[in-house]
Structure 1
């Protein structure tokens, strides 16, 4: 099938309304975030540490960002890392394995507030025991 002006126009028409497209992207070293501006006027700033493949990269590696022609992809050529731009709206910053890793890190955060809460719950008798239904009793 030959690519014609008409087929390109039809493809563009089909792509309208599919989702937000990235129009600008840049690395903000001062806040350690990637900022992505979308065609709907929204600008997202995502911390580097959350994005799979970007944590630990140098400023020079993060500074070069290419946007795909359709605006759905962000490519970091010096790192060979690709992101699906619309997924950033859903808080998806990498593969399922990466997202599980982020979630496990978030759950293991230690803080004074968490420790104080645990102590208070302990004074109340701790976490309630699970009650098994009668048909599961030994």
Structure 2
């Protein structure tokens, strides 16, 4: 077992306080029903928001359930009645669920229906998408 002196412990606490003061820390979270978004506010005045129903497990949640969101320490979000937790850093990196959930969400716009293929051919016959003018 490693012995840590009181002075070493105090120095470590001081380093932690300095590091914490230099980075934004979440101070509040809320669900905004009008936009159906979860908003996380930080100590530096910044905020991060995302569509609540884009998260795995929250797609069919009621507005009342979504409004139960709370901070889980300084690193996570928690919905008690739904038993769902998410890391804020993961959400900020675009991780809204498991790998299979994320893959299914990505494929949503890539469907190959007969109607979509026909519309694409008609659009192509018209010259396709207009070129961007610089």
TM-score by length of 2: 0.67
Q: Distance in 1 between matches of 2:40 and 2:106?
A: 23
Q: In the alignment, what sits opposite 2:91?
A: 88
* Unmatched runs of 5 consecutive residues or more in structure 2: 128-134
How many residues in Structure 1 have an aligned counterpart in Structure 2? 120
Cα offsets for 1:70-109 (capped at 9, x unmatched): x111011110000110122222211212111110113239
Q: Which residue of 1 aligns with 2:38?
A: 34
Say whether 1:64 aligns with 2:60: no
Query: Does the CA-based 8 Å contact 1:20-1:86 persist in structure 2?
Result: no
Q: Kindly indicate whether structure 1 or structure 2 has the higher relative contact order, using CA contacts under 8 Å at least 6 residues apart.
A: 1
Match of 2:101 among 93, 98, 101: 98
